[in-house]
Amino acid sequence: MECIAKTSGFKKRKSAISPKAFLDSVFFCTNGKSPSLSEYSIDLAHHSGIKVSKQALDKRFNTTTKDMLTGLLQDVLSQQMSGKRIDRVSTNWFTDIHIMDSSEFAVSKKAAHKFPGYGGEGREALIQIQFEYQLLGSKVTELSIGSALDSDNLAGMKNIDKMVAKTLLLRDLGYFSPKAFKDLSSREIYFISRAKSQWNFYTLQEGEYSVLTTAAIINKLKENRDKFIDLDVYVVSKPVLRYG
């Protein structure tokens, strides 16, 4: 922790607040669900003997703190993944694997102007955390916050220009659209995505588009001993008109 704090710039030679004391107070202060800066300051003095003003504490919520948290999270994930077996097939087929998801939580409705929510009691203000992890490279490539109304799809495509061909992307339901599929395919980037119920899937057979239904997929799986299907599939948001 000390090394990461120094590298990030959070800890300097004359820093009054230690990284551990700061994180203990921020994450485990029990004075309330949403402690104020004054409460954080009191908590620091009570548990760590560190006396700082709320103004000085406020200045600690900056990019160096974010960099420290990112570094700590990256270090923990790297240690957890170091003992995991990554199939050799993965490294043979893919240059890297990027995993991304988002999580949201409610905050005080006073923050609704900055982090608008969906409305309703307790949902006036929502913060969304976007997180992406580079599995083979053991690196956190995205850790950002925004409103719950921000588009997952835009966030998921944010770092696409930095990815090399044959990278595998693992995203949740909200990240991909047919337009994104086309863009990723043109860059030779692999992806796995859940299908949305409003999408339509087709195969092209003898010059005619045929609807690919769930029943058809199940029948093909029964016929296939390898338990998978390799098909060229057309994904559209509206039904395709048949020829003739």
Q: What is the CATH number of the domain that holds 174?
A: 3.90.350.10
Specify whether 186 is located in the same domain as 208. no
pLDDT score for 4:
92
Specify whether 200 is located in the same domain as 238. yes
Last residue of a domain, one of 23, 52, 84: 84
Do 73 and 143 meet the contact criterion of CB atoms below 8 Å apart?
yes
Last residue of a domain, one of 29, 50, 84: 84
pLDDT score for 168:
92
**Nearest residue to 227 via CA among 218, 238, 216, 239:** 218
- Token output for 162: 């930095």
pLDDT score for 64:
93
Specify whether 16 is located in the same domain as 61. yes
CB within 8 Å of 95: residues ≥ 6 apart = 136, 164, 165, 166, 167
Specify whether 185 is located in the same domain as 111. yes
Tell me how far apart the alpha carbons of residues 52 and 67 are, in angstroms, rounded to a whole number. Answer: 22
**Strand 190-192 to strand 167-170: parallel, antiparallel, or no bridges (unpaired)?**
parallel
**Nearest residue to 196 via CA among 210, 171, 177:** 177
Last residue of a domain, one of 50, 84, 118: 84
For residue 27, give its domain range.
1-84
Specify whether 71 is located in the same domain as 55. yes
The 3-state DSSP class for residue 199 equals coil
**Strand 96-106 to strand 126-134: parallel, antiparallel, or no bridges (unpaired)?**
antiparallel
pLDDT score for 243:
46
pLDDT tens for the 244 residues of the chain, in order = 999 999 999 988 777 888 999 999 888 876 556 788 888 888 888 888 888 899 988 999 999 998 999 899 888 888 877 666 666 656 778 888 998 888 888 888 888 898 998 888 888 999 998 888 888 888 888 888 888 888 777 777 888 888 899 999 988 766 677 788 888 999 999 988 777 777 888 988 888 888 888 888 888 888 877 777 888 888 876 666 554 4
Specify whether 181 is located in the same domain as 104. yes
Specify whether 169 is located in the same domain as 153. yes
Specify whether 92 is located in the same domain as 188. yes
CB within 8 Å of 65: residues ≥ 6 apart = 8, 10, 22
Specify whether 45 is located in the same domain as 75. yes
Specify whether 59 is located in the same domain as 95. no
Do 239 and 200 meet the contact criterion of CB atoms below 8 Å apart?
yes
Specify whether 168 is located in the same domain as 214. no
Phi first, then psi: give them for residue 203, nearest 5 degrees: -115, 150
Specify whether 131 is located in the same domain as 43. no
- How many domains does one find in the chain? 3
